[in-house]
Amino acid sequence: MEMNILSLFTMKGMAVLSTVFVMLVGIAILVLFVMFILDISQTRDAVRHNFPVIGRFRGLFIHLGEFFRQYFFAMDREEMPFNRAERRWIYRSSAGIDNTVAFGSTRNLNVPGMPIFVNAPYALLDEETRTAAPVSFGPYCKHPYETSAIIGISAMSYGALSKPAVRALSLGAKRAGIYLNTGEGGLSPWHLEGDCDIIFQIGTAKYGVRKKDGSFDEEKLKEIAARPQVKMIELKFSQGAKPGKGGLLPGVKVSRDIAEIRGIPEGKPSISPNRHREINNNEELLDFINYLQELAEKPVGFKMVISDVEWLKDLCLRIHERGEQYAPDFITIDGGDGGTGAAPMPLMDNVGLPVRESLPAVVDVLTLYGLRQRIKVIVSGKLITPAEVAWAYCAGADMVNGARGFMFALGCIQALKCNRNTCPTGITTHNERLQSGLDPIDRAERVKNYVGKICYGTGLISHSCGVPEPRSLRREHCRISRGDGTSVPLSTIYPPVAPDKDYVGKVVSRN
């Protein structure tokens, strides 16, 4: 009797399952039929029209390939903009995990442009090395700024970055003893939370220091500059990913507090002008910088992608006419291979020189015109590992900035979603659910660890080259691969120049 009941239930269950299966198959056939009709009747997509239903998989695979490529198909050294080996080095460094490698390098040393450092026959002993020499900004300012750091956090605004990301950078910068650039989005409470040194950036839209009509508000700048954490003011002209185009923050990322800090409407796209309306030439550039120096009483410089140095030569001449006290206190060079939250592809791919070329050119112009000591040079643009930082000091930089390296330290996985408010790591989104996985306290420690490994690794290269610290590196300490198995000294490609006072005088008199 029990067996009969069990068999009955089993038969009923099988019947129900069969019915459900038939219904699901029927629904699937109906859906496929509807998709077939929709695809064959539309003309916007030729693939879907010619290959109904099956053609839809093309878009799906393109979308999925973006995610699978870095895990299954790309080699360690072939991804762009940053490959797996670079990201893994930062992940392990920031986590405090051993990041040594075994067996042999996977890097191809014959790639044209690859820097190869020249080791000395007698490397320095540990007791012969020292920490980096300090660099000082603003000798004519009431409040000059000095730092011994060899790397700082480049401009990334609150808006492009989330609240917990900015908090983590601020706290981490304080622990590491480096500065944090606010980016063009204004000074937020989250920048100030860690009590680190801050560079306040003024973009073309004057966010944070603007009046309702968009013009510059000097009282707001005085208020910001009076804060002890704010050490320098940077006037932004352009950035590496979009030279000649103002900043762009999609409306979905303009939250209420971001709108209040920037002085713009909530929920609407934040689009900066392509340049400062007050500045049309070198004379007006110097006028505005001098104006800011007087208001802030702190070092003032400007940030720009530099692809031509003729205008810089003219700027140097005009500085000599006024006196070097009227010079900008620093120039931040951003490379054409820099990054951003959102930029037009034509600008990101094809406009602006990389720092490999622009940095030595700028250093040489300032040296030739006798302004190299007066105007400090900061450089940024894909300098995320010790080798790249060391190259920058060989080429003549006074200071190196990094942005995306610090994003990797925060946990960035290079999902390339910075402009969509859907960043899966919470770094570039204002979706609170996605932000919840980013712990500012924990990530601040990772920022500190990353800085420590950058300093340690750059020091290793310096000591191997026979100099006691990174700012002692010179062009003769670096060679550049030509791609054919040979290399040439960086000092041959960019021969060192000496100040020529007579040259300056002659050119001034000619003009």
pLDDT in tens, 257-289: 888 888 888 888 878 888 888 999 999 999 999
**Lookup result for tokens 């239903």:** 53
Q: Which two three-digit tokens encode residue 253? A: 């990322």
Residues 379 and 155: their CA atoms lie apart, in Å, by: 12
Residues 364 and 356: their CA atoms lie apart, in Å, by: 13
The alpha-helical segments, DSSP class H, found in 297-417 are: 310-322, 345-350, 355-368, 386-395, 404-410
Q: Which CATH architecture has domain 129-141+148-406+439-510?
A: Alpha-Beta Barrel (3.20)
Q: Given this model, what pLDDT does residue 74 score?
A: 59
* Kind and range of the H or E run holding 288: helix 282-296
Contact 336, 382 (CB under 8 A): no
- Please choose, from the candidates 290, 286, 142, 292, the residue with its C-alpha nearest in 3D space to the C-alpha of residue 220: 292
Say whether 318 sits in a helix, a strand or coil: helix
Letter string b/e over residues 473-500, b meaning 16 or more CB atoms within 10 A of that residue's CB: bebebbbbbeeeeebeebbeebeeeeee
User: Tens-digit pLDDT profile for the chain (511 aa)?
Assistant: 555 554 545 666 677 778 878 888 888 888 888 888 988 888 777 778 788 888 787 777 666 666 666 666 555 556 667 777 788 888 888 888 887 777 777 777 788 888 999 999 999 998 999 989 999 999 999 999 999 999 999 999 998 889 999 999 999 999 999 999 999 999 999 999 999 999 999 999 999 999 888 889 999 999 999 999 999 999 999 876 667 677 777 777 788 888 888 888 888 887 888 888 899 999 999 999 999 999 999 999 999 999 889 999 999 999 999 999 999 999 999 977 766 666 676 766 677 788 999 999 999 999 999 999 999 999 998 898 999 999 999 999 999 999 889 998 998 888 777 777 788 888 988 888 888 888 999 999 999 999 999 999 999 999 999 999 999 999 999 999 998 889 999 999 999 888 876 655 555 554 5
pLDDT in tens, 326-366: 999 999 999 777 666 666 767 666 777 889 999 999 999 99
Q: Given this model, what pLDDT does residue 317 score?
A: 95
Cis bond leading into 81, ω under 30°? yes
CA 61, chain centre distance (Å): 30
> What string of DSSP letters covers 75-110?
-TT--SSS-HHHHHHHHHHHHT------S---S-TT
Residues 185 and 205: their CA atoms lie apart, in Å, by: 9
The alpha-helical segments, DSSP class H, found in 42-72 are: 46-50, 56-68
Q: Given this model, what pLDDT does residue 440 score?
A: 93
Letter string b/e over residues 212-248, b meaning 16 or more CB atoms within 10 A of that residue's CB: eeeebbeebbeebbeeebbbbbbbbbbbbbbbebbbb
- Please choose, from the candidates 317, 139, 99, 333, the residue with its C-alpha nearest in 3D space to the C-alpha of residue 234: 333
Label residue 264 left, alpha or beta by phi (over 0 means left) and psi (-120 to 50 means alpha).
beta
Q: Given this model, what pLDDT does residue 100 score?
A: 79
Q: Given this model, what pLDDT does residue 328 score?
A: 97
Question: Model pTM?
Answer: 0.85
Q: Given this model, what pLDDT does residue 464 score?
A: 95
**Lookup result for tokens 């006037």:** 235
Phi, psi (5° rounding) for residue 464? -65, -35
Within 10 A of 295 (CB to CB), how many other CB atoms are there?
Answer: 17
Say whether 192 sits in a helix, a strand or coil: helix
Q: Given this model, what pLDDT does residue 67 score?
A: 64
- Could you tell me which residues are beta bridge partners of residue 230? 198
Within 10 A of 168 (CB to CB), how many other CB atoms are there?
Answer: 30
Q: Given this model, what pLDDT does residue 463 score?
A: 95
